[in-house]
Amino acid sequence: MSELLLTGISQVVTSFGQGPKRGAAMGQLQVVPEAAVAVDAGGISWIGPEREWRGSAKSVIDLGGRAVVPGLVDPHTHAVWAGDRLADFEARSNGATYEEILAAGGGIWHTIRETAEKSSEEMAALALPRIEALQRSGATTIEVKSGYGYTLEAELRMLEAVRLLQEQTRSRLVPTLLIHICPEELGERQIYREMICNKLIPEVARRGLASSVDIFVEHHAWSAEDARIVLACAQAAGLSIKMHTEQFQRVGGLELGVEIGALSVDHLEVCSPEQCGLVARSKTIATILPGVSLHLGLTAAPGRALIDAGAAVAIGTDLNPGSSPLFSTAVAMGLAVRLNGLTAPEALTACTVNAAAALGLSNVGRLEVGMQADLLVLESSDWRDLPYTLGQNMVREVWVAGRKQAA
């Protein structure tokens, strides 16, 4: 006898088969009409047309003819920060650019000044409502980066804050150590880099505070040469690699990421057609962040060209105060259709199974026997209302490991 049976589902919609989906396979969804899902021990024990269910269940919940999709995976957020970036917003609306503000010691530097002095408890308290907003928007797995600490102690506090948050929410939180920005002056930069390699990364690995290391490769941040050294330390410590790259300039980040087997290369606003091919021929996931294009007015990453070249594309909110104050993973999905040229089925794949792969996870992101019972009950009988609707939450219920979350 199963613990729970969900019935009255107009359609269950999910990607096929294991592993990330590349190219044309991203658009192929499995749609089971008039479906039922059985849940045992937090996982899916049966799924199929309701009329084919032959078992029995202790508890049966009728979902009233609504569509069900996998819980979304948000593979790129900076949900822990203090202060705000309202002055940047105003300056940019008056013509200043994000890069100019950063180069002048504002932007990310400003958020570091606001965040680094906070305790991990204070950081977690600031981040919890943001995590809850992402969860209400459909995210059941959420990556959270450090990167506003800068010093050894403050970076560790940021990751400790994520650990506290893991106890305060039932969303699955995946912490990433982000090596964000660095001193301009070469000597100081080398000293800082050595601290990262000799102290920060080993300590994070020893304490299991993050599963990946991310680095921002950009004209006003790290060079590809520095990134190669830092990421080699990360890999030597047994951590996976993610990268912020090709956001404003092409300085070799994408090529490095593909070469060293990064889990994902993220941003890609200035990714060239040749680079689309390079990612497509690799195992690395291409994570696009449409909230950044919208908020900063950047050319959107070439999502269509990446998929046409055969790449596996994921979508994230990049929730952060400076470049993407976007508190909805579902809206990120809808924006990728409008701004990056994805079809709705491709966007669902990008927000589920491919986003899970961008975090190295294979037990979430699809609805199939043996997977975690992380699923969304939508307001609509047609799943396409999820990427279609803007400004109204089409997620009615969020289930994590077979348990319905409080709204």
Distance of closest approach, residue 112 Cβ to ligand NIG, in angstroms: 9
User: Where do we find the tokens 């799924």?
Assistant: 47
Half-sphere exposure of 228 (CA within 13 A, CB side): 10
Residues 6 or more apart whose CB falls under 8 angstroms from that of 393 comprise 136, 137, 328, 330, 379
The 166-205 site mask, x for binding Fe ion (CB under 5 A), equals: ----------------------------------------
Strands (E), 181-312: 212-216, 240-245, 264-267, 285-288
Distance linking the first and last C-alpha atoms of the chain: 29
> Is 322 annotated to bind ligand?
yes
| Binding status of residue 149 toward ligand NIG by CB under 6 A | no
Please state the length of the chain.
407
* Among Fe ion, ligand NIG, none, residue 253 binds (CB under 5-8 Å by kind): none
* Among ligand NIG, Fe ion, none, residue 292 binds (CB under 5-8 Å by kind): ligand NIG
Count residues binding Fe ion (CB under 5 A): 1
Range in contact with Fe ion (rule: CB under 5 A) among 187-195, 311-319, 377-385, 394-402: 311-319
Cβ nearer to ligand NIG, comparing 140 with 247: 247
Task: Please state, in angstroms and rounded to a whole number, the distance separating the CA atoms of residues 389 and 396.
Answer: 13
Cβ nearer to ligand NIG, comparing 32 with 159: 159
Q: Which three-class secondary structure state does DSSP give residue 63?
A: strand
Task: Please state, in angstroms and rounded to a whole number, the distance separating the CA atoms of residues 213 and 234.
Answer: 6
Q: Which one among 11, 45, 111, 352 touches ligand NIG, defined by CB under 6 A?
A: 111
* Among ligand NIG, Fe ion, none, residue 15 binds (CB under 5-8 Å by kind): none
Q: Residue 329: exposed, middle, or buried by beta-carbon count in 10 A (0-12, 13-18, 19+)?
A: buried
Range in contact with Fe ion (rule: CB under 5 A) among 80-88, 299-307, 313-321, 365-373: 313-321
Question: H or E stretch including 398?
Answer: strand 395-400
Q: Residue 104: exposed, middle, or buried by beta-carbon count in 10 A (0-12, 13-18, 19+)?
A: exposed
**Among residues 203, 205, 134, 207, which one has the least CA distance to residue 170?**
134
> Is 76 annotated to bind ligand?
yes
Region of residue 402 (phi > 0: left; psi between -120 and 50: alpha; otherwise: beta): left
Distance of closest approach, residue 323 Cβ to Fe ion, in angstroms: 7
- 105, amino acid identity: G
Range in contact with ligand NIG (rule: CB under 6 A) among 41-49, 297-305, 320-328, 337-345: 320-328
The 289-308 site mask, x for binding ligand NIG (CB under 6 A), equals: ---x----------------
| Binding status of residue 399 toward ligand NIG by CB under 6 A | no
User: Where do we find the tokens 């059941």?
Assistant: 140
Region of residue 336 (phi > 0: left; psi between -120 and 50: alpha; otherwise: beta): alpha
The 314-353 site mask, x for binding Fe ion (CB under 5 A), equals: ----x-----------------------------------
Range in contact with ligand NIG (rule: CB under 6 A) among 169-177, 184-192, 274-282, 319-327: 319-327
Site for ligand NIG in 241-270 (CB under 6 A): 244, 247
Residues lying near Fe ion in the complex (CB under 5 A) = 318
Residues lying near ligand NIG in the complex (CB under 6 A) = 78, 107-108, 111, 216, 244, 247, 292, 318, 320-323
